[in-house]
Amino acid sequence: MDERVEQNRAGWDLRAEAHSNGASLYDVDGFRAGGSSLRPFELEALGDVQGKRLLHLMCHFGLDTLSWARLGAEVTGLDFSGEAIAAARRLATEVGLPARFVQADVYDAADVLDEQYDIVIATYGVLVWLPDLDEWARVVARLLRPGGTLFVAEFHPQQGQVDDDLRVTSSYFRTAPRETQVTTSYTGQPIEPHTQTTWPWTISGLVNALITAGLQITRLNELPVDLRQRRPTMTQTPDHLWRLPGDPIPLLLTCQAQNP
């Protein structure tokens, strides 16, 4: 298990360098000019974050983390990639936003940070990197202060079941991890070839993990939009999101939970 996680960490070092240095998907230049990487449904879900202590787990190079800081949150970002954390710190310094960025495995977060937060977020392509969803939920519960909120925004697991013609190609209920040989990032940029391992998850698995950890689910939404164009038939919305004609399957989900 540790070897696979270490391989994944090395892969994310490669992605962090590529993404923070010009990936068009992230529009870092737009952020430097005063923009935000946050989507309308994220802002609606969390509301006014001014003065709130916010922890972003698996934060990559900190673009979303710093977007929350730009709205007045007191932010901490955590990621296992040293390259990502270094890039996040550089970006924070460059734009003059106060932020704390910590390199650590997400399973060690509660011990490394040794504090609690008003908001914990985990967003976009993070759950597939978790070998143990139940343990992750227990860590989140330790990190949230009483009354604190967890916000998860994630690519819907059904997306991984279908091909471009929306034909089902794999079981929703598969349990085995998947090894993949990678030569390019999801941004289209070439990166050094390596092997990555991802773990399957289901919506019920996420919900039950949070409930078992003692958190109360307050909202679960499935959305017909995605952050990028994955299939040729997708078209862009005015909010710069992407959707399929007729909205045949969910593409994203959001989940909120509270520490009672």
Q: What are the structural domains of the chain?
A: 2-258 (3.40.50.150)
Q: How crowded is residue 118: how many other Cβ atoms within 10 Å of its Cβ?
A: 18
pLDDT > 70? residue 1: no
What local confidence, expressed as pLDDT, does residue 12 receive? 95
**pTM for the structure as a whole:** 0.95
Residues 10-65: pLDDT tens digits?
Answer: 999 999 988 998 778 899 999 999 999 999 999 999 999 999 999 999 999 999 99
What is the C-alpha separation between 197 and 130, in angstroms, rounded? 10
* Spacing of C-alpha 89 from chain mean position: 18
Residues 124-155: pLDDT tens digits?
Answer: 999 999 999 999 999 999 999 999 999 999 99
Among the listed residues 253, 252, 235, the one whose alpha carbon sits nearest the alpha carbon of residue 244: 235
